[in-house]
Amino acid sequence: MNPLKLDKFREFSELRVGGRIFFVLFSVRASVQISRLSGYDRGAHAVAWIKGIWDMQDPTTHRDRLRHTDYVEQTIHFRCNLSCQHCMILDSMHWLEPADDGQFEGLLEEQRIKKSWRSLILTGSEVTLRSDLSELVRRAIDAGFEFVRIQTHGMRLSSESYCRELVDAGVKEFFVSVTAGQESLHDSITRVPGSFRKTLKGLENLTKFPDVRTLTNTVVTSLSYRSLPSVVELLKGLSNLTEMHFWAYWPMSPTDELSLCIPHPIAADYLKEAIRLARSYGRFVEVKNFPQCLLGRYADALCNDQPELRIDPRFWKEFHENGFHQCVYKTVCASKQCLGINTAYGNRFGWHEDLLKPYSVQEFESLGGNHD
Ligand code: SF4
């Protein structure tokens, strides 16, 4: 649905004028939409549409979600008890410095004065290893953030009482890393047996908190790409999972030393199927670092926008080693989201001149998409 129209409907609903009339009209629209779907998708989509209609939300776009610019991201911890093979800071987390208390307080003071953001993302390696995490969350709320999001592998959330502690403090969004849809594969990627079960238990625990939203991220690598649709299927029953992210691996280096890159044309089929499935379950999808023109009808899922990141400045030197924004069609392609092909990928698999298809301005604008 056009977001402008949606806003008008929501405004109308908030005035409590004719809400039920709209429900009927939307139900007609939903019936038309659902009747166009295959039998496979119909049940899940019907539930999502009806819920969306009732909530005045479009289930495939979740326009009620905040924009990336509504968030600021602060690194607060650089230790982890997993050792994911694709981790982009695996080699640097021992020397990256998290924000100290003075820097954290500086950010809070900035928020008190300017009120620039709505939410704070606490990140780094594994923030739940900080024993004072809920205290940091409370300080953020006191400083004027509406809520806090944490980025986590989710293992500590296998304790329901720990979930409650964080939620009570003010965490409303949990961005959880799920590396694969199968236990053995997930545990081999994280290199910690039992991690899959704990993460899943954590995600299930979060469904007990109605005000909480969960998001997942799955890194697309040579190890995980076949598993992408099964990740979506695995998590389809989670009632408060609103977004699923798929980030194509970048090695923080000009070479793919760990052989974790996978040719984009091979990954594309699995990625597109994962997007199709996730949307059929009413999830918003964000894809990062994948050539937009190789996503076909799902090209609107590409969104490389990110919240402002406050991190040890030495991180950026390594980050730029990736060499994003390379594409043989860079000067003629109108995509404002695509990062093209990075150095390590191009050095290993080539630049796909014969497969990429640059967008005209009109074609790119017709995508709509997830842009801030
Ligand atoms: S042609 Fe455009 S959309 Fe395709 S990879 Fe290059 S920059 Fe991205």
- Give the Å distance between the CA of 328 and the centre of ligand 1: 8
Query: 45 with 151, same domain?
Result: no
Residue 128 lies in a domain: yes
Report pLDDT for 372.
Answer: 59
Distance between CA 48 and CA 42 in Å, rounded? Answer: 10
Instruction: Identify the pLDDT of residue 327.
Output: 97
- Domain extent, residue 226, equals 68-321
Contact assessment for residue 276 and residue 269, using Cβ atoms and an 8 Å cutoff: no
Do 46 and 103 sit in the same domain of this protein?
no
- Gap from CA of 252 to ligand 1 centroid (Å): 21
Given a contact cutoff of 8 angstroms between Cβ atoms, the answer to whether 355 and 52 are in contact is no
d(CA 164, CA 170): 10
114 Cβ neighbours under 8 A, 6+ residues apart? none
Count of helices and strands (H, E) across the chain: 13, 8
Interval 33-56 mean pLDDT: 43
CB 56 within 8 A of CB 13: yes
**Which ligand 1 atom sits nearest the alpha carbon of residue 291?**
5
Answer yes or no: is the C-beta of 369 below 6 A from any ligand 1 atom: no
Residue 163 resides in a domain: yes
> Does the pLDDT value for residue 9 go beyond 70?
no
Query: Which of 298, 336, 359, 366, when mutated, tests ligand 1's pocket best, judged by the most ligand atoms within 8 Å of its CB?
Result: 359
Indicate the pTM of the whole model. Answer: 0.83
The answer to whether residue 167 sits within a structural domain is yes
* 107 vs 143: CA distance, rounded Å: 9
Averaged pLDDT for residues 225-229? 98
| Same domain assignment for residues 46 and 154 | no
pLDDT, residue 49, reads 44
CATH label of the domain that carries residue 138: 3.20.20.70
Q: Give me the pLDDT at residue 57, please.
A: 38
Q: Which atom of ligand 1 is nearest to the CA of 299?
A: 3
What is the rounded distance in angstroms from the CA atom of residue 288 to the CA atom of residue 219? 9
Task: Give yes or no: residues 135 and 218 share one domain.
Answer: yes
In terms of pLDDT, which residue wins out, 163 or 51?
163
E strand spans, the chain: 71-77, 119-124, 147-152, 171-177, 213-220, 241-248, 284-288, 308-310
Domain count, the chain: 2
Side-by-side strand order, sheet with 147-152: 284-288, 241-248, 213-220, 171-177, 147-152, 119-124, 71-77, 308-310
Q: Examine the pLDDT at 58 and tell me if it is beyond 70.
A: no
182-225: per-residue pLDDT in tens?
999 999 999 999 999 999 999 999 999 999 999 999 999 999 99
Classify residue 369: in a domain, yes or no: no
pLDDT at residue 371, as a whole number: 60
123 HSE (CA, 13 A, CB side)? 21
For ligand 1, say whether the CB of 333 is within 6 Å of any of its atoms: yes
In a domain? residue 193 = yes
- Asked whether 327 lines ligand 1 (CB < 6 A), one says yes
Distance between CA atoms of 200 and 190, rounded to whole angstroms? 14
Chain CA centroid to CA 94, Å = 25
| Ligand 1 pocket member 337 (CB < 6 A) | no
Q: Tell whether ligand 1 has an atom less than 6 A from the beta carbon of residue 338.
A: yes
User: Ligand 1: distance of its center to the CA of 334 in Å?
Assistant: 8
User: Do 279 and 152 lie in a common domain?
Assistant: yes
Q: Whose CA is nearest to atom 2 of ligand 1?
A: 358
Nearest CA to ligand 1 atom 4: 293
Residue 162 within a domain: yes
How far is it, in rounded angstroms, from Cα 139 to Cα 117? Answer: 15
Strands (E), 16-146: 71-77, 119-124
Residues 19, 93 within the same domain: no
Residue 64: the pLDDT is 59
Asked if residue 161 is part of any domain, the answer here is: yes
Residues 218 and 111 in one domain: yes
Radius of gyration of the chain from Cα atoms?
21
- 101 in a structural domain: yes
Distance CA 109, CA 147 (A): 16
Q: 61: Cβ below 6 Å to ligand 1?
A: no
Q: Do residues 227 and 269 lie in contact, with contact meaning Cβ atoms separated by under 8 Å?
A: no
Claim to verify: residue 11 and residue 123 sit in the same structural domain: no
What pLDDT score does 8 carry?
Answer: 37
Give the whole-number percent of the chain exceeding pLDDT 90. 79
pLDDT score, position 65:
75
Summarize pLDDT for 66-121 with one digit per residue, the tens: 899 999 999 999 999 999 999 999 989 989 999 999 999 999 999 999 999 999 99
User: What does the mean pLDDT of the chain come to?
Assistant: 86
Percent share of the chain, pLDDT over 70 = 82
> From the alpha carbon of 330, which atom of ligand 1 is closest?
7
Average pLDDT score over residue span 309-325: 94
Residues 26 and 96 in one domain: no
Same domain, 302 and 185: yes
Do 21 and 165 lie in one domain? The reply is: no
The rounded Å distance from CA 358 to ligand 1 centre is 5
| pLDDT tens readout for residues 278-301 | 999 999 999 999 999 999 999 999
Question: How distant, in Å, are the alpha carbons of 62, 63, 291 from that of 3?
Answer: 10, 7, 26
Instruction: Tell me: do 44 and 72 sit in the same domain.
Output: no
State the Cα torsion 204-208-211-216 to the nearest 10°: 0
Q: Give the closest residue to 66 by CA, choosing from 111, 110, 116, 117.
A: 117
